[in-house]
Amino acid sequence: MTTATRQRHESPPADDVIRVLGDDLTLDPVYDPGLSPQEVLELYRHMVTTRLLDERLVGLQRQGRIGFHVGSLGEEAAILGSAYAMRKGDWLFPCYREFGAALMRGLELSVFVHNMFGNAKDTVRGRQMPDHYTCRRVGWVSISSPVGTQITQGVGFAWGAKIRKQDLATLVYFGDGATSSSDFHSGMNFAGVFKIPTVFFCRNNGWAISVPTQRQTASRTLAEKGAAYGVPGVRVDGNDLFAVVSVVKRALERGVRGEGPTLIEAITYRMGGHSTSDDPNRYRASEALEPWTSRDPIGRVRAYLEKHNQWDGTAEERLIAEVDQRFREAVTSAERTPPPALETMFEDVYARPPWHLAEQRAERLAGPRAPGAHG
């Protein structure tokens, strides 16, 4: 892609983008979600933790100790604010950039790190790439790489709950690129027709890997796509933690009342590469980051907390030290854990293995081993 065709992603706020945290660090009373000081502090700690882990996981990948990582640099408010707005019993259907939300909901850091190494304690037994974790206990569905598939899955899950008259809603994460997928059309249409309690949360971070938003849609906004399905669309400043919590809470309440789904377009920006396998400098001019640096979501919340005397440099240093200690312990444990046992590749497929699978398992376990192969 030439420099002339590189994307100039919208710098918020536009007139139709909801904001709560003003430049003067006051909150707009119209959309103020009413977070307590302790809640804001808790969310800030999770945002900082997410960024610190991002940086350290990239370091591990560059050292060759893990194979892959998908980061969330610059998108922490959109990810954590939306997850926080959902109830404990609701289910989240992630994309692959939302690990911070999974940790906030209760996924143990050690379990997450075991997945990054794909070892014997990995909940998916090393069968998926790193960052493809799952945690049923906290209502977190397994991440899937194909673009947009989680959209129809999240709708179907909420539809099943509605049939069973369960008080349950779903939050589905996806990027701007997924709005060009067939699953987006199918999920939106079905949810609109049957008034399904799903919150469609699109993180419009400007890029679908290396494809800019304006190269994949002629729509002025992504939120307006909901009109075709009878689904209201809302645009929100995705770098404004308070605004994200507010709009997701309202969308959830609407769904619980039986009024159907909401499509939320969170305007944010992907400050890093698509993943550790990507070099954004090949398709994105460095000056594209400039208008977003001053709107860093973590910096904005920290300024708010400091204004209210709830945070300072000493507290920041303690948090960094705490995260570093926890991360080092998790990595040490993961690197000492052996790979999954060979026989596990035959498990979790059938409740009762059929004869031919049992036969294959026996043959494989009795067969020759290459040096250093799985035990």
Rounded CA separation 51/297 (Å): 11
Rounded CA separation 151/301 (Å): 30
Rounded CA separation 27/94 (Å): 29
Active site residue 304: no
SS (H, E, C) 131-150: CCCCEHHHCECCCCCCCCHH
Gyration radius (Cα) of the chain, Å: 21
Rounded CA separation 129/259 (Å): 38
Are 235 and 265 within 8 A, CB to CB?
A: yes
Half-sphere exposure of 267 (CA within 13 A, CB side): 22
Point out the catalytic residue in the list 44, 96, 173, 283.
283
Q: Which stretches of 77-197 are assigned E, i.e. beta strand?
A: 91-93, 170-175
Point out the catalytic residue in the list 114, 235, 274, 300.
274
DSSP per-residue codes, 267-304: E----S-SSTT--GGGTS-GGGGHHHHTT-HHHHHHHH
Are 194 and 156 within 8 A, CB to CB?
A: no
β-bridge mates for residue 140, sequence order? 92, 135
Active site residue 274: yes
Report residue 55 as tokens.
């940086």
SS3 350: coil
Point out the catalytic residue in the list 19, 132, 235, 270.
270
Active site residue 284: no
Rounded CA separation 166/154 (Å): 15
Question: Which residues are marked as active site?
Answer: 270, 274, 283
